[in-house]
Amino acid sequence: MNRFTTRTSRQTRPATVRIGAAVLATATAATLAACGGNGGGGGGGSQSADGTLTIAFDADAAPTGYDPLLYSQRQFEFFASLYDSLFVTQPDGSVEPSLVTEFSNNPENTQTTLILREGVTFTDGSPLDAEVVKANLDRRSDPDLEAYGSLAPGQASEITDVTVQDPRTVVITWAQPQATPEQNLADTTGVIVGPTGVADPSSLETTPDGSGAYVLDEDATTRASTYTVVKNDDAWAADEWVWDTIEYDVITDPQSLANAVVSGQADIATQLDPTTIDLVQSRQSTVDVGGTIVGFPVIDKLGSSNPAFGSEQVRQALLFATDRESLVSDLHDGSRPTSQFFPEDAPGFDPALDEEFAYDPDRARELLTEAGYPDGIDVDLTVLGQPDEDAVAVQSQWAEVGIRLNFVTATSTDQVFAAVRTDPVIFGPFSVGSNPAGFVAGVLYGGFMNMQQAQEPDIQSALGAALGATGDAQQQALTDLNRAITEHGWFIPVYEDVTYAGYNADSVSEPAFAGTNNYLVLSAVQPAS
């Protein structure tokens, strides 16, 4: 029966079936053929040919809307196209005026006078003037505005007063001397939102109100997936950006992010996961920058919840018990083991610290014994979900000297936030960037890493000197500050993370990071020559 059926089917297969199969095969082949033809460039080919720059981000560019002040400095990568800032960090790390044409500081560096640019107009049609700048900076007490973290009351770069001298002149008064005041007003922190957005911040959830070279193309934007901005030819800085359109694609999967730039769907992909660097470098190009220090800020320096941490020797024991070389070699090829809080390219970096506080488990045991803990100590670390693989690696290293790192699983994000007040240490990456003194002032000494408001004279005096001095004196003060942080065990560094961005050299010029910050200066990106 089967044999009969089989033979007959071969002889009498209807033409329609054969034609259908042929059409399907032809259509598939034709489609594939139509997609090919540009080598490794992928189906989409270079996006820059029609004046569009396509950038793939590893995270949502605007997860809570278009108020740039809600975000950290890194978001300036996206918001720089929609908004202008008072000052902008350049690829060489210098800070240049943007919405400001001139500025001056008083001799004590406690007052900064800004002369604003003329001819700047916001999306809502209003012109830039001193009142708008004041209205923006007067939002600095709002705790939701992450960009103003260092300018808020009580912080190291606190602004005590913003005065409108005339429509083009604003005078900013600082609570204490600032080494480089303009650096405090650069990028996201210095972004100026239009009057409509300032008056009604909730409007920024859906509608940007900036003076940038681009405006949001809402029809071509799908929140959390793709943001498209188109050139606003009337903008004062329109000529500084060469692209007609910029498309920001959100690709959270690390492999897909790398694939996007390798196959040519994105001109630039940032930030690349370390596991994909080799792939991208084998087919396209990469740029990198350090500046992010991964480690354990010591929270309980007074020993309130864990008395052992009140001892400087115990905190130093953690430094000596951490085998950074092994961890980097096993888990973070390309990163740099470090025993200090300041990045390699930042002022104040001291290579001697890496030698002095290198891995030495015997020294760690000695310090624990001297501190009165010969049997070791217990350290709780609250984590949400699974602990980070770095923390797990450190757990086994510390265990060798008797430091028992216990992961406490949080059941809510509230519990994680609360742990900043109760755990002896926390763990994570910290973007210290090119202004480490500012970061120390705003975060490590005057911010959430020191909720207990612990005092350490060496750190305090070095920080004061670093913020108030210039030139060689500032350099020395920063070196002293860096050393004081390490020696007193206020931060247990593990490695300096290197941020990578991939780019298609056939379509765009080599992008550059903003100094040692981990975000790119996209206005400097040009089509490949």
Partner 1 sequence: MAAVPAAATGPLLDTPDTRTQMLAYVARRLALAVGTLLAAVLITFLLVHASDSSPGAVRLGPGATAEAVAAENEALGWNRPLYAQFLDYVGALFRGDLGTSLIDGRDIAADLADRLPVTASIAFLATLLSGVVGVLLGVTAAVRGGRLGKGITTGSGVALSLPAFWVGILLVYLISLQLGWLPATGYVDFSADPAAWLQSLLLPVLTLTVGGAAIVARTANAGMREALAQEHVRTLRAMGTPPWRIRYVHALRYASVPVVSTLGIQFIALFGGSVIIENLFALPGLGQASQAAATASDFPALVGVVVVATAVVVVINLLLDLLVAALDPKVRAA
Q: Of 40 and 372, which has the nearer Cβ to partner 1?
A: 40
Kindly tell me the sign of the dihedral angle through the C-alpha atoms of 507, 510, 516, 521: negative
Report in angstroms how near the CB of residue 259 gets to partner 1 at its nearest. 4
- Interface with partner 1 by CB under 8 A: which range of 99-107, 152-160, 261-269, 289-297? 261-269
Whether 273 and 60 have beta carbons less than 8 Å apart is answered as no
- Comparing C-alpha atoms, which of 508, 368, 442, 394 is closest to residue 155? 442
Report in angstroms how near the CB of residue 519 gets to partner 1 at its nearest. 21
Among residues 104, 222, 326, 453, which is the contact residue for partner 1, using CB under 8 A?
A: 222
- The answer to whether residue 40 forms part of the interface with partner 1 (CB under 8 A) is yes
Site for partner 1 in 58-77 (CB under 8 A): 60, 62-65
- The answer to whether residue 5 forms part of the interface with partner 1 (CB under 8 A) is yes
- Strands, sheet with 159-166, edge to edge from the N-terminal-most edge strand: 100-105, 111-116, 169-174, 159-166
Among residues 22, 224, 238, 399, which is the contact residue for partner 1, using CB under 8 A?
A: 224
Label residue 40 left, alpha or beta by phi (over 0 means left) and psi (-120 to 50 means alpha).
alpha
Cα–Cα distance for residue pair 501/521, rounded to 1 Å? 12
Number of residues this chain uses to bind partner 1 (CB under 8 A): 59
Residues 6 or more apart whose CB falls under 8 angstroms from that of 392 comprise none
- The SS3 of residue 527 is strand
Among residues 94, 105, 226, 304, which is the contact residue for partner 1, using CB under 8 A?
A: 226
Site for partner 1 in 355-384 (CB under 8 A): none
Q: Of 22 and 352, which has the nearer Cβ to partner 1?
A: 22
- The answer to whether residue 471 forms part of the interface with partner 1 (CB under 8 A) is no
- The answer to whether residue 470 forms part of the interface with partner 1 (CB under 8 A) is no
Residues 6 or more apart whose CB falls under 8 angstroms from that of 158 comprise 151, 152, 174, 175, 176
Site for partner 1 in 81-140 (CB under 8 A): none
Site for partner 1 in 16-35 (CB under 8 A): 17, 21, 24, 31-32, 34-35
Residues 6 or more apart whose CB falls under 8 angstroms from that of 439 comprise 430, 431, 432, 433
- The answer to whether residue 417 forms part of the interface with partner 1 (CB under 8 A) is yes
Pair type for strands 377-384 and 403-410? parallel
Among residues 255, 275, 396, 470, which is the contact residue for partner 1, using CB under 8 A?
A: 255
Other CB atoms within 10 A of residue 408 CB: 13
Among residues 134, 168, 223, 336, which is the contact residue for partner 1, using CB under 8 A?
A: 223
Q: Of 63 and 374, which has the nearer Cβ to partner 1?
A: 63
Q: Of 256 and 509, which has the nearer Cβ to partner 1?
A: 256
Q: Of 375 and 414, which has the nearer Cβ to partner 1?
A: 414
Whether 97 and 87 have beta carbons less than 8 Å apart is answered as yes
Distances (CA, A) of 352 to 337, 339, 358: 13, 10, 10
Q: Of 362 and 414, which has the nearer Cβ to partner 1?
A: 414
Q: Of 144 and 244, which has the nearer Cβ to partner 1?
A: 144
What tokens appear for 90 in the block? 């350049």
Residues 6 or more apart whose CB falls under 8 angstroms from that of 369 comprise none
Report in angstroms how near the CB of residue 27 gets to partner 1 at its nearest. 10
- The SS3 of residue 126 is coil
- Interface with partner 1 by CB under 8 A: which range of 81-89, 236-244, 413-421, 422-430? 413-421
Distances (CA, A) of 51 to 48, 263, 484, 524: 5, 19, 50, 15
Among residues 107, 125, 202, 385, which is the contact residue for partner 1, using CB under 8 A?
A: 202
Q: Of 223 and 336, which has the nearer Cβ to partner 1?
A: 223
- Interface with partner 1 by CB under 8 A: which range of 5-13, 114-122, 300-308, 356-364? 5-13
Query: Following CA atoms 149, 497, 376, 374 in sequence, which dihedral angle do they give, to the nearest 10 degrees?
Result: -100
- The answer to whether residue 413 forms part of the interface with partner 1 (CB under 8 A) is yes
Of the CA atoms within 13 Å of residue 274, those in its CB half-sphere come to 15
Among residues 136, 155, 189, 259, which is the contact residue for partner 1, using CB under 8 A?
A: 259
Cis peptide before 90 (omega within 30 of 0): no
Judged by the rule CB under 8 A, the positions of this chain that interact with partner 1 are 2, 5-6, 8-9, 12-14, 17, 21, 24, 31-32, 34-36, 38-44, 56, 60, 62-65, 143-144, 202, 205-206, 222-226, 249-253, 255-256, 259-260, 262-266, 279, 283, 412-414, 417
